[in-house]
Amino acid sequence: MGLFAKLRGELVDIIEWLDDTNHTLVWRFPRYHNQIKNGAQLIVRPGQVAVFVHEGKLADVFEPGTHTLETNNLPILSTLQGWKYGFDSPFKCEVYFVSTRVVTDLKWGTPNPVMLRDPEFGPIRLRAFGTYTLRAQDPKILIKELVGTDGVFETDELATLMRGVVNQALADVLGSSKIAALDLAQNYEEMAGTLQAAVNERIDDEYGLEVPQLFIVNISLPEEVEKALDTRTSMGVIGDMGKFQQYQMGQAMTQAASNPAGGGAADGMGLGMGLAMANQMMGAGGMGGAAAHAAPPPPPPTAYHVAVNGQTAGPFGPQQLQSQVAAGQLTRDTLVWCAGMAGWTAAGQVPQLAGLFGPPPPPPPPLA
């Protein structure tokens, strides 16, 4: 490098940081042959502080404003005093700009559920997530503990650290609050304030950081527990289960009546449900005020399928089967089947149908 290039480097006397990012906390002024000299201008803008590091030790901290750097007010030696070293003074000084603005839109969440003992549900697992803001509270501690010799330090490098601190503090807050899981939503604001204080207590003195705001967006139960709660809520909305059963019976009767392919099974089912609903209505209407002691409705009659010439007919209800027996269309040897049977069985061997055929004929008399 020529003499004029060195002189040009020596004459760089403006030290400043024009921050065009939203997530940079610390930025080191580049030092490629731009040594600080006597009379240089240091410009610190609002939302910044400048920290000088001389020979590996933290020196001065400059607040926002324009500062003239002179050897009589800095613990460094200007390179203009080092002509014998060829403009490269052995006394070096680094300048770190630290942003003191509030960094917003940072997110936190629980990578794993927090195990708790709920007073209503017992042991449960909770997940939570939210947002927070971050600010450099003590630039010296921040540079010493986290930045080191890093030229650019951004909030992304703090994501893992902050997630661990928030999650640990959240577990302590949830465990000590003793708030039931169903009451957490109405206490988000109070819990967020407690969580913010717990996080600041952990990061203020240790890392020189501060969380000015912290919000809890949601605390959720496992999906299977939420489904169970939805079912429980649905039962509560239904209210009177007896009236709901009557409504269901009426709907089923309407559907059965509108289905002409239902055959005798639909008739029997409709009759059974009609009788059951009539019994419930009579019991609810008074009858001596014994609604609470009314007998349960009888079950609907069973419908059977009948094998005819290798094809399946039916299903048929008890009355239709009786008519077929009288007409000789259904005999003891006719194969029948209904839901619950292992396979096709002769009608005479089905206990529920044996009564349709009457007593078996007596054995024939012996031959003379």
Name, of 55-64, 168-177, 332-341, 342-351, the range with top average pLDDT. 168-177
Domain 304-355 has CATH 3.30.1490: yes
Q: Residue 224 and residue 166: Cα distance in Å, rounded?
A: 26
**pLDDT computed for residue 182 by the predictor:** 82
**pLDDT computed for residue 41 by the predictor:** 86
Structure tokens at 47: 């939302």
**pLDDT computed for residue 170 by the predictor:** 92
Fold matches, 103-223 and 304-355: no
Query: Is the model more confident about 265 or about 70?
Result: 70
CATH number of 103-223: 3.30.479.30
Percent of the chain scoring above 70 in pLDDT: 68
- Predicted confidence (pLDDT) at residue 85 exceeds the cutoff of 80: no
Look up the pTM and report it: 0.56
Cβ proximity of 37 and 83 under 8 Å: no
Kindly state the average pLDDT of the residues 255-281: 56
C-alpha closest to that of 163 among 211, 212, 126, 205: 211
Query: Is the model more confident about 103 or about 10?
Result: 103
Name, of 64-73, 217-226, 282-291, the range with top average pLDDT. 217-226
- Predicted confidence (pLDDT) at residue 278 exceeds the cutoff of 70: no
Q: Where are the domains of the chain?
A: 3-99, 103-223, 304-355
Backbone angles phi, psi at 350, to 5 degrees: -90, 115
**pLDDT computed for residue 336 by the predictor:** 83
